[in-house]
Amino acid sequence: MANPIKISSTVETIEQFGDGVYKVTLVPSKRLPRFKAGQFLHLTVDAYDPQGGWWPESRVFSIASHPTDEHVEIVYSVKGIYTNKMREYLEPGKEVWLKLPYGDFSVQSVLSDSQDVILVAGGTGVSPYIPFVKKEIAAFSQQNVKLIYGIRKVENLLFKEVFENAIRDSLKFTMDLFVEQTEIPKLVNGAAQFEGIIQLDHLYAVSKAYTKPIYFLSGPPKMINYFKAGLIERGIDSNHIKIDAWE
């Protein structure tokens, strides 16, 4: 894995997906270091002196863009003082600093030819899967890949086009979308859609049809811990459960 480096970047676009959920596209000032789909970065909106200054307060975000992209994408939700500060500061043309890459939450790094994959995401936790689903899933044509993605509201749906393209282009990729709102139209063509929150029994039932599946869990820590403990209680090997731990 490449050593983390610090790069200034310029905000290109900001898209809003419901109350307090944003996708930010950044243009780095120089070539990015090598990184893998699923890794994360540190982002700061505070001033930073690259000539030896201390790294300021920052937050970590999964990298939603692919390593071959010329831009960087992140998704964040406003949940505290710093992310609220981001919402107030970020706009096209503003400068931020990134420090990357970090983490080992990489689907392609742990797969074998005989294992299927179950990707579980709550809210903005879908971000680390996007580079894999968008550009790398074709290399794993022998494995079944299931994405189980939960959102609160219709407007919180992220990366719809990416999912529809993957469903259309890959016979091995399927998606279950859980939406907490009721009586809503179909949101993603080709995906199965359910009302309510993601259920542990649903995650376990999916594994019955798959070959030695590996679970990837990404989302709020409470969700991750609950699903991990529940799957282990049901007999899923802990080595077959990977979590998106920002450490």
For 70-113, write each residue's pLDDT tens digit.
999 999 999 999 999 999 999 999 999 999 999 999 988 877 77
**Which of 65, 84, 102 is the last residue in one of the domains?**
102
Which pLDDT does position 202 carry in this prediction?
A: 98
CB–CB of 93/105 below 8 Å? no
The verdict on 235 and 129 lying in the same domain is: yes
Answer whether 0.85 is exceeded by the pTM: yes
The verdict on 222 and 113 lying in the same domain is: yes
**Which of 102, 131, 147 is the last residue in one of the domains?**
102
Q: What is the pLDDT of residues 121-136, one digit of tens each?
A: 999 999 999 999 999 8
Tokens of 4: 């983390």
We report the CATH number of the domain holding residue 85 as: 2.40.30.10
Tokens of 129: 């899967």
Q: Is residue 1 very low, low, confident or very high in pLDDT (cuts 50, 70, 90)?
A: low
b/e map of 178-208 (b: 16 or more CB within 10 Å)?
Answer: bbeeeeeeeebeebeeeeeebeeeebbebbe
Pairing of strands 241-243, 214-218: parallel
Inform me whether the pLDDT recorded for 209 exceeds 50.
yes
DSSP 159-179: -HHHHHHHHHH-TTEEEEEEE
**Which of 82, 102, 122 is the last residue in one of the domains?**
102
Number of domains into which the chain is organized: 2
The verdict on 93 and 131 lying in the same domain is: no
> What's the full length of the chain, in residues?
247
Query: Quick one: 116 exposed, middle or buried, by C-beta within 10 A (0-12, 13-18, 19+)?
Result: buried
The verdict on 165 and 217 lying in the same domain is: yes
We report the CATH number of the domain holding residue 156 as: 3.40.50.80
Which pLDDT does position 247 carry in this prediction?
A: 47
The verdict on 77 and 9 lying in the same domain is: yes
CB–CB of 146/118 below 8 Å? yes
Q: What percentage of residues in the chain have a pLDDT greater than 70?
A: 98
The verdict on 128 and 222 lying in the same domain is: yes
The verdict on 231 and 112 lying in the same domain is: yes
Q: What is the pLDDT of residues 31-58, one digit of tens each?
A: 999 999 999 999 999 999 999 889 999 9
The verdict on 60 and 134 lying in the same domain is: no
The verdict on 186 and 68 lying in the same domain is: no
Tokens of 206: 């999916």
The verdict on 23 and 96 lying in the same domain is: yes
The verdict on 142 and 194 lying in the same domain is: yes
More confident residue, 117 or 142: 117
Task: Say how far apart CA 194 and CA 179 lie, in whole Å.
Answer: 6
- H helix intervals, 74-220: 81-89, 107-110, 130-131, 160-169, 200-207
The verdict on 48 and 131 lying in the same domain is: no
Domain interval for residue 64? 5-102
